[in-house]
Amino acid sequence: MIEMLQYEFMRNALMAAILVSIACGIVGTYVVIKRIVFISGGISHAAFGGVGLGYLLAINPILTAIPFTILSALAIGIISKKTKAGEDSAIGIIWAGGMALGILFIDLKTGYTPPDLFSYLFGSILTVPTTDLLLMLALDAAIITTVALFHREFSAISFDEEFSTIIGVPTRRLYLLLLALIALSVVVLIRVVGIILIIALLTIPTTISIQYTNRLKKLMLLSTLTGIATTTAGLYLSYLFDLASGASIVLVLIAVLILSTLLKPKPHSTTKTT
C-alpha cells in the first residue's frame, strides 16, 4: 500500500477517492431517503451531453459537464412536475436525450471516437489530472455549503413534501436545488467511476450505512466513510490486478453491501410496539 503512494497518480487517485466519497456520502443520503435513485441515474447519463460539448468546444469536458448536467437535472424536475409526462417518462427523455447530444457533439467535432472517451463512460481513477482534482474539491465545497444552509428544508421535503409546503418551505425550488446538487456530485464522480457506474456510488454507500444508524447526520458521515473505504479498496485491487478501476470499485461496493446485509445483527429500528 505504501509503495503505491510513491507515484503521483496514486496520490491523486486516493485524493479523488476521498473527494468523490464526500459528494456521495452527503448527496447519496438524500438520493436514497428521498427515493430519487432513478432520477439520479437519468441525470448522470444526461451528463454525457456535457462531456461531448467539451470535445466539441475543445475545452475540459468536466467544465462543460457542470452547466449541462445542472440544466438536465432541472429539466427532469420541471418536466416531471409541470407536464403530464410523469417522472419516469421525464427521466427517460432526459437520459436518452443527453446521451444522444453527447454522441452528436463528438461526431461533429472529430468524426471518430476520441481515445479517452472510454474513461468518461467507465471511469479511470488512476488518470485523474490535478486540475480535475481541484475542480472536484470546489464542487465538494459547493455541495457542503449548500447542504449546511438548506439541510432543514432538504430533510423536510424528503420526509413529507405536502406538509413542507404547508409550513412554508419553498418545496418546488428546494427540490430543484436538490436535483442541481445531484448534478454537481455526478460531475464530481464522472472521472472516477464514469457516467455508467455513477449511480452505484450515489446509492450503495448509503444503502450499506442506513443499516447502522437512523440519524441523518450520522448517515451522511457513515456513508462518506464507507465510500472512502470501498473506493480505496477498489483502487487497490485495480492496481494490484490491473483491473478497470470503476468496475472494481462498484463490485467492492456490492460485495460489502451483501456482506453487511448477511452479517447484520437484529435490526434495531423495526421493533414494533402496539
Partner 1 sequence: MSGEIVRLRDVWVHLDGIRVLEGIDLDVNQSDFLAVIGPNGGGKTTLLKVVLGLLEPDSGEVKVFGKKPCDGRFLIGYLPQHRSFDPNFPISVFEVVLMGRYRGLFKNYSSEDEEAVVESLEAVGMLSLKSRQIGSLSGGQLQRVFVARAIVREPDLLLLDEPMSGIDPEAQKSFYELLQELNEKMAIVLVTHDIAAVSTYVETIACLNRRLFYHGPTEGGLGKLEDAYKCPIEILAHGTPHRVLKEHY
The residues binding partner 1 (CB under 8 A) are 33, 35, 149-150, 152-153, 155-156, 158-160, 162-170, 210, 213-216, 218-219, 269-274
Nearer to partner 1, 44 or 158 (CB): 158
Q: Distance between CA 226 and CA 29 in Å, rounded?
A: 12
Q: Distance between CA 205 and CA 49 in Å, rounded?
A: 27
Distances (CA, A) of 256 to 85, 227, 265: 37, 11, 15
CB of 151 to partner 1, least distance (A): 10
Nearer to partner 1, 167 or 262 (CB): 167
Nearer to partner 1, 6 or 271 (CB): 271
CB of 142 to partner 1, least distance (A): 17
Nearer to partner 1, 32 or 62 (CB): 32
No. of helices (H) and no. of strands (E), the chain: 11, 0
Contacts of 142 (CB under 8 A, 6+ apart): 184
By C-alpha distance, which of 66, 23, 73 is closest to 187? 66
Nearer to partner 1, 34 or 45 (CB): 34
Distances (CA, A) of 7 to 3, 10, 258: 8, 5, 33
By C-alpha distance, which of 102, 104, 133 is closest to 120? 102
Nearer to partner 1, 64 or 223 (CB): 223
CB of 222 to partner 1, least distance (A): 10
CB of 69 to partner 1, least distance (A): 25
Contact 12, 136 (CB under 8 A): no
CB of 53 to partner 1, least distance (A): 33
CB of 138 to partner 1, least distance (A): 23
Contact 49, 197 (CB under 8 A): no
